[in-house]
Amino acid sequence: INQDYGVSIILFTSHYLVDIQQDKIGPVLNLNSMSSGNLWKQMDVLIFNTWLWWYRTGPKQGGAGWGEAGVRDCSRETTPIAGATRGVVPLALQVQEDILRSIRKPVHFLNITAMSYMRKDGHPASHNGLGGMDCTHWCVAGVPDTWNQILSTTLLTQSG
């Protein structure tokens, strides 16, 4: 707890929102049980970072996905994709949006998907010296910096 502000932050890491139980055949997802969610009932704000698991196209994407065949990385790319549009909305995102519209409790869905799609400079793998880093390990500054600023602004404007 931060004594100056009375704020507690808990990082709760779980591969699934539902419980995993041992069965004769091994670990099994129990889709009817979320006992770990009891902790969430005490929270004022919950932030779920789940998109990674909903939409997997593979960790390493080449330039052909940006309409630039033969491009291997995003070196020296500093502008958004020219004339890009959101395009086809992935089915998982459509389902998520439908579910959130049907929930009775207020839920704020901060959708940064379209913004991230447009940023070919947001893939720093060729600049980090480690190689092999993928889109799940973006580094500040760039796209994650923008996500953090949007999240911070959202929390501040909705709290008061």
Q: Got the DSSP string for 135-157?
A: GGG--SSSHHHHHHHHHHHHHHH
Q: How far is CA 122 from the centre of its chain?
A: 14
Helix (H) or strand (E) holding 28: strand 26-30
Q: Which residues contact 89 (CB under 8 A, 6 or more apart)?
A: none
Q: Note down pLDDT in tens along the chain; length 160 residues.
A: 566 777 778 887 777 788 888 999 999 988 899 888 888 888 888 877 665 544 445 445 555 555 555 655 555 566 666 655 555 666 777 787 888 888 887 777 777 766 666 666 555 555 555 555 445 444 445 666 777 788 888 888 876 5
Q: Left, alpha or beta for 98 (phi > 0: left; psi -120 to 50: alpha)? A: alpha
Is-contact 130 139, C-beta < 8 A? Answer: no
- Give the tens place of pLDDT for each residue, 41-59: 888 888 776 655 444 454 4
Burial of 127 (0-12, 13-18, 19+ CB in 10 A): middle
Token look-up 């459509």 returns 94
**CA–CA distance, 20 with 131 (Å, rounded to integer):** 34
